[in-house]
C-alpha cells in the first residue's frame, strides 16, 4: 500500500517536472515562430456562435497565426480554466467571448499581469475598463433603434405592434427592447399591444405568436422579433392562422441568419438588422493594434448592416451563417 | 392501501385544471370559442391539445420510468437527436442544402419517421442497460445522455437549423385528423400503447413491483433487469416521437434548443398527476391531466399577455398550489374536516 503511494507521488512529480520542461521548450520555440492566439468560446448552442468561431478560426489561418481554441460548453468555470491555460502557455493574445458578465475579474488581472492583451468579443464583462484591451461587439440598443426606424418608415408611423422578446434578463433582450421603444415613444400611433418572451427559439416563437393571434389576431399590424429564429416561428404561425406574413402582418427581426434572408426573398419577412458574428477580422485588427502598442477605444462597434426585403435576393448568396 | 371511502386521487389535479379553465371562462375573452377554419377545429383550446402533445408523449413514458423508482432526464436530448436525424433523412442524408444546392433528394416519409425512432429506441436501450445491467443511479445514467446527447444532435446538424419542406412528414406535427390536431392523436395512441402493455400483459404489475421493492421482486421471479430495460426503451421511443412532432411542426431541427428543459416539464406533469417519485405506484390518467394543467397554464399566460418577467413566477405559484393541495397531509386534513362536518350533520338531524 505504502509502496504504491510512493510510486504514485513519484509519478506525479515526474509528470509535473516533465510538463514544465515540455512547456518551457514550447515557449522557447515560440520566439520566432508565428504569433499564438488563444480563443475561448463560451458555448456552441446556436448557429450564430458557430459562425463566430469559424470566423475567428478562418481569419487566424488567413493571417498566419497559430490559434488555440477552447469551447467552454456554457460553463463559466471551464472558460476561466481555458483562459488560465492560455496564460500558462504564454500566448501572445487572447480573444474571449464571455459566457456571463461577472466573475472574470481575477483571470483578466492574471492576463494583464502576464502582459497578454485580451480582446472581448460579442459580450462585455462587468469589470474595470483597464482589465481588458478592448471590446468588439454590436450595440443592441442601436439595433433596436434602427429596427424601429424602419418600422416607422414602412408603416407611416402608425402600427399596433406585437413584440417577441428574447430570454428575460438577457442583455440583447433588454437593450433591443429599450432601443426600439426609444424611437417609437416619439410616435403616439405606434403602440406595443402585446409583448412576451419567445426565448430566442422557433418553437417558442411560434407558440407565442399563435396565442397572440388568438387573443388579438385582427389587431396586429407588425411583429417585432428580438431574433430571426422567433420570426421564422412567428411567420409559420401567421400562415397557419390564415394571414399573409410580410403583407397582412409585417414581420421584422434582428440577427441576419441565412434563413431570415430566405424569408425575405419569399416575401414573408420585411427587414432585418444585422448582428454579425463575423468578428474574427476586427478581433485580430485589435490584437495587432495592441502588439503595436496603440490605444483603441474600449468599445469597437462591430460592422452591422441593415437589410430590406427588396435587397435580399441579391445578397442572400453572400451570407455565411 | 385504500382505507375506507377515500376521495380518488385524480380529483385534485382535475380540480386544478377546472380552476384554470374557470378563470379563463370568466376573464379571458374567446378562450372557449372553437371555430372551424380550413376544415379543422380552431381556437385556444385546440392550441392546448396541439402544443401539449410532445410533453404528453414523453410524460406518459416517464410515468412508467418513475414508477420503477427511476428517472429519465435525457428525454430532451433524445428528442433533439431524433429531430436532427429526421431533418437529415429528409434531405437524403446530404447536407447539400447547406451549400445552397437545391437539387437535394427528398426521402420517403416512412424512412423519415422510422430511422429516428430506431435511433431513439437504441438510446433508450443504452439508458436501460446503464441502469439495469451496469447498475448506475438512474439520475446519473441518464445525465450522461442528457449532456452528451445535445452535443451529438448539434454535431449531426452542424450547429445549424436544417430546414425542409416535406408535405408528408409535416403532417406529423401540423396535420389534422378529423379536425383534431394530429400530434394530440399521436399522444393518445401512445397512451393506448402504454395501457395495452401494462393492462394486457403483467408488465404493469411488474413495474409496480420493481418500484416497490426491487430485490423482493427479483426473488419472486420477476426479471427485473428486463422490466427496467423496457421502461427506458419506451421512454426513449416516446422522446424520439416527440422530437418528430416538434421537428415536423417548425419544419426544421433546432438542435441547440429543441426539447431544452422539457424533461423537467415531463417530470413535473407526472408528479402533478399524483405519481410519487419514490416509485411503486403510478397514475397514468393523472399524468395526462398534469400535462394539460401545465399547457393550459402556459397558453393562458401567453393569451392574457402576462409580462414575461412574471411568467415563470406565475407558473411556479400555480404548480406549488396544485402540489400542496395534493400533498397527503393537506388531503387528510380536508378529508378529516369533511368527516367531522358529516358527523355533526348526522348528529343534528
Sheet architecture: strand order including A134-137: A66-71, A36-41, A93-96, A118-121, A134-137, A299-301
CA angle B238, B322, B305 (to 5 degrees): 80
- The most confident of the ranges A169-173, A308-312, A315-319, B103-107 is A308-312
Do residue B159 and residue A49 have CB atoms under 8 angstroms apart?
yes
Exposure string for B176-209, b = 16+ CB within 10 A, e = fewer = beeebbbbbbbbbebbeebeeebeeeebbebbbb
What is the number of alpha carbons within 13 Å of residue B337 lying toward its C-beta? 5
* Mean pLDDT lowest among B23-37, B89-103, B151-165: B89-103
* pLDDT > 50? residue A9: yes
Task: Point out the residue among B158, B251, B302 whose CB comes nearest to the CB of A211.
Answer: B302
Share of chain A above pLDDT 90, in %: 74
Best mutation target, A207, A226, A321, to test chain B (most B CBs within 10 A): A207
Best mutation target, B258, B299, B302, B312, to test chain A (most A CBs within 10 A): B302
* pLDDT > 80? residue B328: no
Q: Is A191 on the interface with B (CB under 8 A)?
A: no
Which residues, including other chains, have CB under 8 Å from residue B344's CB and lie 6 or more apart?
none
Residue B276, Cα to own-chain centre: how many angstroms?
16
Q: pLDDT for A261-290, tens place per residue? A: 999 999 999 999 999 999 999 999 999 999
Residue of A nearest to B312 (CA): A168
> For A96-123, what is the mean pLDDT?
93
Task: Point out the residue among B29, B159, B163 whose CB comes nearest to the CB of A44.
Answer: B159
The per-residue pLDDT for A7 is: 57
CA of B284, closest CA in chain A: separation in Å?
26
CB atoms within 10 A of CB B12: 23
**Chain B contact set for A50 (CB, 8 A):** 158-160
* pLDDT > 80? residue B274: yes
Best mutation target, A168, A169, A194, A215, to test chain B (most B CBs within 10 A): A215
Residue B9 in 3-state DSSP? coil
Do residue A196 and residue B30 have CB atoms under 8 angstroms apart?
no
* pLDDT > 80? residue A257: yes
Do residue B254 and residue A202 have CB atoms under 8 angstroms apart?
yes
Residue B180 vs residues A239, A243, A261, B34, B301: alpha-carbon distances, Å: 18, 21, 34, 12, 23
Residue of B nearest to A216 (CA): B303
**Chain A contact set for B158 (CB, 8 A):** 50
Do residue A47 and residue B252 have CB atoms under 8 angstroms apart?
no
Task: Give the separation between CA B118 and CA B134, rounded to whole angstroms.
Answer: 22
Confidence of residue B340 (pLDDT cuts 50, 70, 90): confident
**Chain A contact set for B306 (CB, 8 A):** 196
The per-residue pLDDT for A2 is: 54
Confidence of residue B169 (pLDDT cuts 50, 70, 90): very high
CA of B98, closest CA in chain A: separation in Å?
10
Share of chain B above pLDDT 70, in %: 93
Task: Give the separation between CA B116 and CA B107, rounded to whole angstroms.
Answer: 13
- The most confident of the ranges A69-78, B5-14, B87-96 is A69-78
> For B9-27, what is the mean pLDDT?
90
Q: Is A215 on the interface with B (CB under 8 A)?
A: yes
Q: Is A196 on the interface with B (CB under 8 A)?
A: yes
Task: Point out the residue among B29, B252, B308 whose CB comes nearest to the CB of A196.
Answer: B308
**Chain A contact set for B51 (CB, 8 A):** 207, 210
The per-residue pLDDT for A3 is: 57
**pTM of the entire structure?**
0.83
Do residue B308 and residue A203 have CB atoms under 8 angstroms apart?
no
Task: Give the separation between CA A62 and CA A56, rounded to whole angstroms.
Answer: 10
Interface of A with B in 233-292 (CB under 8 A): 233, 236, 240, 242, 259, 262
> Which candidate, A237, A233, A238, A226, places its Cα nearest to that of A272?
A226
Q: pLDDT for B67-77, tens place per residue? A: 999 999 999 99
Q: pLDDT for A130-173, tens place per residue? A: 999 999 999 999 999 999 999 999 999 999 999 999 988 888 99
Q: pLDDT for B133-145, tens place per residue? A: 999 999 999 999 9
* pLDDT > 80? residue B63: yes
The per-residue pLDDT for B319 is: 86
Instruction: Compute the mean pLDDT over every residue in chain B, rounded to the nearest whole number.
Output: 89
* C-alpha cell at position B152: 451529438
* pLDDT > 70? residue B348: yes
Residue of A nearest to B159 (CA): A47
CA of B256, closest CA in chain A: separation in Å?
5
Best mutation target, B102, B246, B256, B307, to test chain A (most A CBs within 10 A): B256
Task: Point out the residue among A206, A211, A212 whose CB comes nearest to the CB of B250.
Answer: A206
Task: Give the separation between CA B97 and CA B209, rounded to whole angstroms.
Answer: 51
Confidence of residue B341 (pLDDT cuts 50, 70, 90): confident
CB atoms within 10 A of CB A316: 16
Q: Is A165 on the interface with B (CB under 8 A)?
A: yes
Could you tell me which residues are beta bridge partners of residue A223? A162, A251
DSSP letters spanning B60-73: HHHHHHHHTT---T
Best mutation target, B54, B176, B306, B308, to test chain A (most A CBs within 10 A): B308
Amino acid at each position: 500500500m505504502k509502496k504504491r503511494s510512493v510510486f504514485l507521488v513519484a509519478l506525479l512529480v515526474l509528470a509535473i517536472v516533465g510538463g514544465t520542461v515540455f512547456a518551457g521548450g514550447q515557449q522557447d520555440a515560440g520566439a520566432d515562430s508565428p504569433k499564438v492566439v488563444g480563443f475561448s468560446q463560451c458555448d456552441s448552442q446556436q448557429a450564430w456562435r458557430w459562425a463566430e468561431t469559424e470566423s475567428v478560426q478562418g481569419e487566424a489561418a488567413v493571417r498566419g497565426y497559430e490559434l488555440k481554441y477552447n469551447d467552454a460548453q456554457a460553463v463559466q468555470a471551464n472558460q476561466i480554466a481555458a483562459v488560465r491555460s492560455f496564460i500558462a502557455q504564454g500566448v501572445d493574445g487572447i480573444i474571449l467571448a464571455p459566457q456571463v458578465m461577472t466573475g472574470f475579474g481575477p483571470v483578466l488581472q492574471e492576463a494583464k499581469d502576464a502582459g497578454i492583451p485580451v480582446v472581448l468579443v460579442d459580450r462585455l464583462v462587468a469589470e474595470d475598463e483597464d482589465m481588458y484591451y478592448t471590446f468588439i461587439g454590436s450595440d443592441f440598443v442601436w439595433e433596436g433603434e434602427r429596427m424601429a426606424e424602419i418600422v416607422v418608415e414602412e408603416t407611416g408611423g402608425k402600427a399596433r405592434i406585437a413584440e417577441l422578446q428574447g430570454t428575460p434578463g438577457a442583455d440583447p433582450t433588454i437593450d433591443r427592447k429599450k432601443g426600439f421603444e426609444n424611437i417609437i415613444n416619439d410616435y403616439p400611433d405606434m403602440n406595443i399591444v402585446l409583448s412576451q418572451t419567445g426565448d430566442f427559439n422557433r418553437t417558442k416563437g411560434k407558440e407565442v405568436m399563435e396565442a397572440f393571434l388568438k387573443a388579438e389576431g385582427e389587431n396586429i399590424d407588425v411583429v417585432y422579433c428580438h431574433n430571426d429564429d422567433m420570426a421564422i416561428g412567428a411567420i409559420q404561425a401567421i400562415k397557419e392562422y390564415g394571414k399573409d406574413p410580410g403583407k397582412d402582418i409585417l414581420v421584422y427581426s434582428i440577427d441576419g441568419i441565412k434563413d431570415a434572408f430566405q424569408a425575405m426573398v419569399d416575401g414573408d419577412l420585411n427587414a432585418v438588422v444585422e448582428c454579425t458574428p463575423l468578428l474574427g477580422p476586427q478581433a485580430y485588427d485589435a490584437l495587432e493594434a495592441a502588439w503595436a502598442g496603440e490605444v483603441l477605444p474600449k468599445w469597437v462597434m462591430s460592422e452591422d448592416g441593415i437589410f430590406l426585403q427588396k435587397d435580399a435576393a441579391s445578397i442572400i448568396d453572400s451570407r455565411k451563417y | 392501501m385504500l382505507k375506507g371511502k377515500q376521495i380518488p386521487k385524480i380529483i385534485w389535479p382535475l380540480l386544478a385544471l377546472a380552476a384554470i379553465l374557470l378563470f379563463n371562462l370568466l376573464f379571458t375573452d374567446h378562450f372557449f370559442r372553437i371555430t372551424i377554419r380550413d376544415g379543422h377545429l380552431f381556437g385556444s383550446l385546440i392550441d392546448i391539445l396541439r402544443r401539449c402533445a410532445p410533453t404528453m408523449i414523453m410524460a406518459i413514458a416517464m410515468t412508467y420510468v418513475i414508477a420503477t423508482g427511476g428517472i429519465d432526464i435525457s428525454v430532451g436530448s433524445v428528442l433533439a437527436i431524433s429531430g436532427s436525424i429526421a431533418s437529415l433523412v429528409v434531405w437524403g442524408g446530404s447536407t447539400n442544402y447547406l451549400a445552397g444546392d437545391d437539387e437535394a433528394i427528398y426521402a420517403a416519409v416512412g424512412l423519415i419517421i422510422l430511422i429516428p425512432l430506431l435511433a431513439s429506441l437504441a438510446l433508450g436501450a443504452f439508458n436501460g442497460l446503464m441502469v439495469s445491467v451496469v447498475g448506475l443511479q438512474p439520475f446519473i445514467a441518464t445525465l450522461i445522455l442528457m449532456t452528451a446527447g445535445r452535443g451529438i444532435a448539434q454535431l449531426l446538424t452542424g450547429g445549424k437549423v436544417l430546414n425542409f419542406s416535406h408535405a408528408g412528414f409535416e403532417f406529423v406535427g401540423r396535420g389534422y385528423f378529423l379536425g383534431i390536431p394530429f400530434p394530440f392523436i399521436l399522444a393518445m395512441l401512445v397512451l393506448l400503447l402504454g395501457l395495452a402493455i401494462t393492462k394486457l400483459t403483467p408488465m404493469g404489475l411488474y413495474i409496480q413491483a420493481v418500484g416497490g421493492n426491487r430485490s423482493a421482486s427479483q426473488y419472486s421471479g420477476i426479471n427485473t433487469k428486463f422490466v427496467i430495460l423496457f421502461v427506458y426503451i419506451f421512454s426513449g421511443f416516446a422522446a424520439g416521437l416527440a422530437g418528430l412532432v416538434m421537428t415536423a411542426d417548425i419544419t426544421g431541427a433546432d438542435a441547440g434548443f429543441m426539447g431544452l428543459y422539457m424533461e423537467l416539464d415531463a417530470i413535473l406533469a407526472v408528479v402533478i398527476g399524483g405519481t410519487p417519485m419514490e416509485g411503486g405506484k403510478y397514475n397514468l390518467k393523472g399524468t395526462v391531466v398534469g400535462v394539460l394543467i401545465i399547457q393550459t397554464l402556459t397558453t393562458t399566460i401567453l393569451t392574457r399577455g402576462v409580462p414575461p418577467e412574471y411568467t415563470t413566477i406565475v407558473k411556479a405559484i400555480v404548480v406549488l398550489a396544485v402540489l400542496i393541495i395534493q400533498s397527503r397531509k393537506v388531503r387528510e386534513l380536508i378529508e378529516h374536516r369533511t368527516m367531522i362536518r358529516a358527523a355533526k350533520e348526522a348528529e343534528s338531524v
